[in-house]
Amino acid sequence: MLMKPIRIIEICANSAQSCVEAEMGGAKRVELCAGIPEGGTTPSYGEIMTARELTSAIDINVIIRPRGGDFLYTPAEVQSMLHDIEMCKQLGVHGVVFGCLTKEGDIDVTLMRRLMDAAKPLSVTCHRAFDVCRDPFVALEQLIELGCDRILTSGQQSDAVKGISLIAELVKRAANRIIIMPGCGVREENIVKIEQETGAKEFHTSARRIVYSKMVYRNENVPMGSNVVSSEFETVETDRKKVAAFVS
């Protein structure tokens, strides 16, 4: 009897508690990030350490991204990334996630190799910097040559459903030399479509729910940041039930 290939789910986790929820829901791996509204930035030492302490059976990959915005980094930002990679190694995480481009929009092979050498022996995923590179097929071969384990991609579109055509071509060209992992807009209602039409086996999603504040006294007139979506008294967190739905 032929066995159906196992679908591997990676959760974009915004906190140590989200890592716990992801593990309880049966996810294989998390990408631990801070700064979700910015597309993900490097979490703190404390957040990474707590995630390690509160979980036992899930792989933790940490995003190495010193700021939001583009993926052209200054020498000071590179130094910060190197220090953060060293921190991740000391904390014993499974892997790190980063991506660097040249000003012309190509993979910065020299910088990527420097970061990857620093990251050894951790697993390395190239994040969605790939989605804004100039030539995805050239970038694919460069990342394979560099030794990246996987590429997180929406197929250079605003979400993975719109990017199905490119993702499918990347999976075909990768030919099992690197993992192509669709992400961005992967939902319970469309994951089967993405899976069937791309041939991908790993998927990246958030599976979050809104968590409402338990504060009784509330001053709604003082926002804490310029990018507040709704309320200072709402946050988001991974939902183990949503994770379980993806896994099954």
Is 235 domain-assigned? no
Average pLDDT, integer, range 101-116: 98
CATH number of the domain within which 151 lies: 3.20.20.380
Could you tell me the pTM of the whole model?
0.92
Is 95 domain-assigned? yes
Q: Please tell me the distance from the alpha carbon of residue 37 to that of residue 65, in angstroms, as a whole number.
A: 13
Number of structural domains (the chain) is 1
Burial (Cβ within 10 Å: 0-12, 13-18, ≥19) of residue 104: exposed
Q: Please tell me the distance from the alpha carbon of residue 60 to that of residue 48, in angstroms, as a whole number.
A: 9
Given a cut of 80, is residue 225 above it in pLDDT? no
Q: What is the pLDDT of residue 5?
A: 60
First to last CA, the chain: 20
Is 26 domain-assigned? yes
In the structure, what pLDDT confidence band is assigned to residue 4 with cuts at 50, 70 and 90? low
**What confidence tens digit (pLDDT) does each residue in 136-168 have?**
999 999 999 999 999 999 999 999 999 999 999
Is 60 domain-assigned? yes
Average pLDDT, integer, range 28-45: 95
Given a cut of 80, is residue 127 above it in pLDDT? yes
In the structure, what pLDDT confidence band is assigned to residue 221 with cuts at 50, 70 and 90? confident
Give me the chain's average pLDDT, please.
94
Q: Please tell me the distance from the alpha carbon of residue 162 to that of residue 18, in angstroms, as a whole number.
A: 27
Q: State the residue range of the domain holding 135.
A: 8-208+240-247
Burial (Cβ within 10 Å: 0-12, 13-18, ≥19) of residue 222: exposed
A 10 A CB-CB count for 214 gives 6
Given a cut of 60, is residue 3 above it in pLDDT? no
To which H or E segment does residue 49 belong?
Answer: helix 45-54
